[in-house]
Amino acid sequence: MTTEITYLKGDATYPVGEGQKIIFHAVNTVGAWGRGFVLAISKRWKEPEEFYLSQRGKWFLGDVQLVRVADDITVANMVAQRALRSQWNPVPFDPAACERCMEKVAEAALMTKASIHGPRLGSGLGGMRWGTVAHIIERTLCSKDIPVYIYDLEGK
């Protein structure tokens, strides 16, 4: 059996449902934290940002940092973006790294029976087409029957 991605209007930092939840998002390889979805995470919790910054230079594409922020919520900092978006790097999001990250997130979700929550990662600052990322989610998470909720902010 394969689940499908469920799309919701709302804020992914307030995930719906009961049980364990993993909030995933993409971070970059250069240690920059200050634009995009990370601002919403930092507004709610400091631990994911502090851990990410404390490990600067110690992680590589495909790495995942799992940071527990509540009894039932873990944030997955997924290193899936090479550097920052610029005119020389218009698509820094790395689909292969994202897939490796998602496989690790899937393992964690299956071990804890968690659902996955997050924004349309990679399609904003990462410059990637959402359809490409959605296919990765379907292959790595939905195919394992892990519930996935993607949030769009109201008005977006």
CATH number at residue 66: 3.40.220.10
Query: Mean pLDDT, to the nearest integer, of 41-45?
Result: 97
102 has pLDDT over 70: yes
What is the residue range of 38's domain?
5-152
Task: Write the DSSP symbol of residue 58.
Answer: S
Residue 65: phi, psi to the nearest 5?
Answer: -110, 115
Across all residues in the chain, what is the average pLDDT? 90
- Report the C-alpha gap between 69 and 66 in whole angstroms: 10
115 touches 85 (CB < 8 A): no
Q: What is the pTM of this model?
A: 0.93
Domains in the chain: how many in total?
1
β 115-118/21-28 pair status: parallel
State the pLDDT confidence band at 56, using cuts at 50, 70 and 90: confident
Backbone angle region of 17, left / alpha / beta, with phi > 0 → left and psi within -120 to 50 → alpha:
left
